[in-house]
Amino acid sequence: MSIDFSRPNLFRAILYFLLLYAVFRVRDWFFIQPVLPDEDGMMPLARWMTFSMAKHPVWREIYQFLISVITAFSLTRILSRNMIYLERTFVPALIFPLVSLGYFTSTLTPVTVTAAFLLVFAIGSMINSHKREESPTSFLNAAVALGMMPLLYPPSVVFLFLLGVGFIIFRQNWRNILIALIGYAFPLLICSYVLWGLGDDFSSTLFRIIDLLGTSTHDSLLTLIQPWDYVLAGIYLILTVLAVSSFFHGQTQLRRRALQGFTLLVWTLITALGMLVFPSRDPDMLPMLAVPLSAILPGCFNRKSGWLPNLLYLLTIWSVLFYNLYHYLIFA
């Protein structure tokens, strides 16, 4: 009996996740020299997390592993619980480490993976608002999570647009919209109040986010792009187009919740790409980009069975492994 690689069960998904995670972490231990970022180029919360973990590398490894596992499998659970796909799939839990950790990691990675977890939580909360127009709880939770993200990684402020998209997709009333917008501003207000109590200006947090959005980092994303990166970007672009096309044309009758959820995921990907417009863009944005890609790409693999989905799935994995071999073994 042939093995369908694109349809792993839970045991194989966990095993493959551990293997991929181990490959990427061993790569970092042997070929990447950890460098702490400039304190002036970070938000206070991100600075505290990064430098605290730098003093306790073992706890840093434990935290990064746990938050990666929780984020990957939480996204998988959201897709299954809301029946985004006809078949239950664990592929999102494997694509997430490929994109978030397979190409680039830094001492800021635990912070940005935490931001990715907040994004997953927000997506799940918005989808939960299906047929709950009169209850503001789901969108309030999503808004608070999205509002926390810029306090960790300023370019993630673009996901405020995603909240507006959610208002339209899930047909929220003005009362829920107002409550959600207040919830989005709540983390910023709390952070500003705490820093004000410590002697800083109340508006310093907001202006710091604005300043950091326009500040180019020393490891700008565009300066790190190599020719092979364009090949990988092309692979993901083709897979994304195939996945979206397969979703909307692979079913005779789309369920409303599945349609709304998948539409939200497509807009999440578009919004995540909006982080590229800021001068502060850098490879640390990959965990947040990995969230919508991990949710959308399984559409290429689980609609049909046979050699083609297996080939596309293995191509995705082996392209990342070859990328690591190319960069960290041959030219190390």
- Per-residue pLDDT band for 31 (boundaries 50, 70, 90) equals confident
Q: Which residue has the higher pLDDT, 180 or 226?
A: 180
List pLDDT tens digits, range 67-77: 999 999 999 99
- Which of the listed ranges 102-106, 128-132, 292-296, 303-307 does the model predict with the highest average pLDDT? 292-296
Question: Considering the domain boundaries, does residue 104 fall inside one?
Answer: yes
> For position 222, what pLDDT does the model report?
45
What gap in Å lies between CA 204 and CA 29, rounded to an integer?
37
This prediction's pTM: 0.92
What gap in Å lies between CA 208 and CA 224, rounded to an integer?
26
DSSP annotation string for 32-46: ----PPPGGGS-HHH
- Per-residue pLDDT band for 117 (boundaries 50, 70, 90) equals very high
Q: Domain limits at 16?
A: 10-330
Task: Identify the three-state secondary structure at position 306.
Answer: coil
Query: What's the chain's average pLDDT?
Result: 85
Question: Considering the domain boundaries, does residue 2 fall inside one?
Answer: no
CA dihedral defined by 142, 147, 151, 156, rounded to 10 degrees? 80
Question: Considering the domain boundaries, does residue 311 fall inside one?
Answer: yes
Report which of 225, 238, 230 is spatially closest to residue 296, judged by C-alpha positions. 238
Question: Considering the domain boundaries, does residue 4 fall inside one?
Answer: no
> For position 220, what pLDDT does the model report?
46
CB 47 within 8 A of CB 266: no
Q: Give mean pLDDT, residues 38-45.
A: 82
Q: Give mean pLDDT, residues 61-70.
A: 96
- Which of the listed ranges 142-146, 174-178, 193-197 does the model predict with the highest average pLDDT? 142-146
Question: Considering the domain boundaries, does residue 5 fall inside one?
Answer: no
Residue 276 belongs to what H/E stretch?
none
- Tokens 């799935």 locate to 313
List pLDDT tens digits, range 238-297: 889 988 888 877 655 667 888 899 999 999 999 999 998 888 778 889 999 999 999 999
> For position 202, what pLDDT does the model report?
85
Question: Considering the domain boundaries, does residue 312 fall inside one?
Answer: yes
Q: Count H helices and E strands in the chain, helices first.
A: 14, 0
For the chain, the domain total comes to 1
**What's the DSSP call for residue 329?**
I
